[in-house]
Structure 1
Amino acid sequence: MSVRHRTGRPAGAARRVRRVRPVRVLVLALGASAVVLPLLVVLFGTFKSLPELFASPLSPPSSPTLDNYRRAVGEGGLGTAFTNSLIVTVGAVALTLTVASLAAFFCARAPGRAGWAVFGVLVAGLAVPAQAAIVPQYVLFDRLGLTDSLSGLVLVDTTMTLPTAVFILGSFLRSIPEELYEAAELDGAGPLRAFRSIALPLTKPALAATGIFLFVMDWNDLLYPLLFVRSQENRTLPLALLDFQGEFLTQYPPLFAGVVIASAPVVVVYVLLQRYFVSGLTAGAVRG
């Protein structure tokens, strides 16, 4: 007769659990250290001089200073770049969510196979690497006079993130019960009224999760500003941070300060929308 632990498990299973638990804790601790230690180096480095950073990267600053933040904003021009990134990101996210929600609603409500056909064409953009479309995009935008402009960056970011947004929102909108739309039709609601009164309120978690994802993508985009922007006044934050990297020496303390400044809006957006984020991640996973 086997001996059972007081929790109901066999004694052998209880011993195996006790052996596995320290290994799991060790693995989690190593994973957390791999994330936390670089963050500490960056955060402490923003208050240090370059020699002190090289001498003791993991130790707290002995004489904290805000000069690196002043240099990043003043000499590095991060103030203007921050404003440009905010304009481009907010504009691109708002435009993408507007177009994607309408397109996803059409794909979910279109009769027959028309919705699936349009959905497939839009989502097919996920299979096209951004680098493959750079040359035709640049030629087209240059002929339209949209290069070296914030409006051009808004449009190109919207174009490249639209398939992702349609994919996420389309999966959720298809999970909304058909009975809700039928009840709205009986009340005389047209497609736009159903979209505004039914689809949008129920899609808030998915819109928030998609908005966070798009915000991070557009905010951190370096490829298109590097290709499209030529003037100093239209630079975005990722492009402005490149100025701290020289041919022979990189100014790490002001660069780290710029990274902290650039990361702050992403953290703020996530904190404001975190209650929708988890529910939005699973939106559309189960059909109602």
Structure 2
Amino acid sequence: MRRFVLGVYALLIVVPLVVIVGGSFKTTPELFASPFGLPKSPTLDNYTTVLAKQDMLGVLGNSLFVVSISVPVTLLLGSLVAFAVARLPRWPSRILFAIFAAGLAVPAQAVMIPQYVQFERLGLRNSLTGLILVNIVVTLPVAVFILAGFMRTLPAELYEAAELDGAGPWASYRRIAVPVSYPSLAATAIFLIVMHWNDLLYPLLFIDDPDKRTLPLALLDFQGEYLTEYPLLFTGVVVASLPMVLAYAFLQRHFVAGITAGAVKG
């Protein structure tokens, strides 16, 4: 039974992947004639159109800029809060953790109007800086939730030994908590990269300038009211997915260790 369930799950993953990747090398007539088949006459015209005519490289640069700043800052702030949660006394630790955990329970749609008004007043709407700030705020509870679960499992003796050597809180964080937490930081980084890279809601809300579009927002251009250019859309999806695939390939050896760390109380 388990093999059957895993087989069905594998099909649900592989079939759309084959259709999208194969469709990016097909013309529109060939795609509709044989959506699940391999390309009979593979063409790179779709990639040329997407990269050249749709300014996908500029859009890709915007997404890379947003992610390359949002993820490290979120990791830094999240690890600092998680360290505080792990090292503070019992009740202050619980209160601090509950404040950030509450952020996971608030739907993003519930605060969009106040965010929009506030960003408009601050002059941050329609700017990549504003998009970076909102990404950090929205995903910081996720980072705290994951990292705190790991840092709570670190033996107190590590910090006590550092304190005997004269290390203060900042030195303990920098020399003990961060190096030991590399697997958890890598796993959190993957989650954050995926969340920031695929985010459509906030760019759609805050960005009006075509030169400041991110990848998910640019992919909407291939979908019209009456006609959708599926080969170009599939090509855009492939191009947009490549950085995430590379990021996972680079960090995957830490991924399993990171997501399981902290699952069992030490």
Secondary structure (helix, strand or coil) at the match of 1:200 reads: helix
Distance 1:24 1:186, change over 3 A: closer
Task: Tell me, yes or no, if the aligned pair for 1:92 and 1:155 is still in contact at 8 Å.
Answer: yes
Task: Tell me, yes or no, if the aligned pair for 1:176 and 1:287 is still in contact at 8 Å.
Answer: no
Length-normalised TM-score, structure 2: 0.97
2:234 corresponds to? 256
**Structure-1 separation of matches of 2:5 and 2:121:** 54
Long gaps (5+) in structure 1:
1-22
Q: CA deviation at 1:33?
A: 1.8
**Structure-1 separation of matches of 2:116 and 2:3:** 50
Secondary structure (helix, strand or coil) at the match of 1:153 reads: helix
**Structure-2 separation of matches of 1:138 and 1:26:** 47
**Structure-1 separation of matches of 2:193 and 2:146:** 15
Task: Tell me, yes or no, if the aligned pair for 1:100 and 1:166 is still in contact at 8 Å.
Answer: yes
Q: CA deviation at 1:181?
A: 0.6
Q: CA deviation at 1:247?
A: 1.1
1:42 corresponds to? 20
Q: Which amino acid aligns with 2:115?
A: Q
Q: CA deviation at 1:79?
A: 1.1
Secondary structure (helix, strand or coil) at the match of 1:146 reads: coil
Equivalent residue in structure 2 for 1:31, among 9, 23, 36: 9
RMSD: 1.1
Equivalent residue in structure 2 for 1:139, among 112, 117, 121: 117
Q: Which amino acid aligns with 1:238?
A: P
1:185 corresponds to? 163
Secondary structure (helix, strand or coil) at the match of 2:53 reads: coil
**Structure-1 separation of matches of 2:159 and 2:12:** 49
1:68 corresponds to? 46
Q: CA deviation at 1:241?
A: 0.3
Q: What pairs up with 1:229-244 in 2 under 5 angstroms?
A: 229-244=207-222
Q: CA deviation at 1:24?
A: 4.2
Deviation track 1:182-205 (CA, whole Å, cap 9, x = no partner) reads 110000000000001110011101
The share of aligned pairs that are identical, in percent, is 57
2:265 is aligned with 1:273:
no
Q: Which amino acid aligns with 1:241?
A: L
2:206 is aligned with 1:228:
yes
Q: CA deviation at 1:34?
A: 2.1
Deviation track 1:239-259 (CA, whole Å, cap 9, x = no partner) reads 000000011110010110000
Deviation track 1:208-230 (CA, whole Å, cap 9, x = no partner) reads 00000010000000000000000
Equivalent residue in structure 1 for 2:189, among 201, 205, 211: 211
Equivalent residue in structure 2 for 1:282, among 247, 260, 263: 260
Equivalent residue in structure 1 for 2:61, among 78, 83, 88: 83
**Structure-1 separation of matches of 2:78 and 2:236:** 32
Length-normalised TM-score, structure 1: 0.90
Distance 1:168 1:25, change over 3 A: closer
Larger Rg: 1 or 2?
1
2:127 is aligned with 1:156:
no
Q: CA deviation at 1:151?
A: 0.9
Deviation track 1:145-168 (CA, whole Å, cap 9, x = no partner) reads 111111111100000000011011
Aligned length: 266
**Structure-2 separation of matches of 1:44 and 1:178:** 53
2:57 is aligned with 1:92:
no
**Structure-1 separation of matches of 2:263 and 2:3:** 31
Deviation track 1:122-148 (CA, whole Å, cap 9, x = no partner) reads 111000000001001111111111111
2:189 is aligned with 1:195:
no
**Structure-2 separation of matches of 1:31 and 1:287:** 31
**Structure-2 separation of matches of 1:29 and 1:225:** 37
Q: CA deviation at 1:31?
A: 2.5
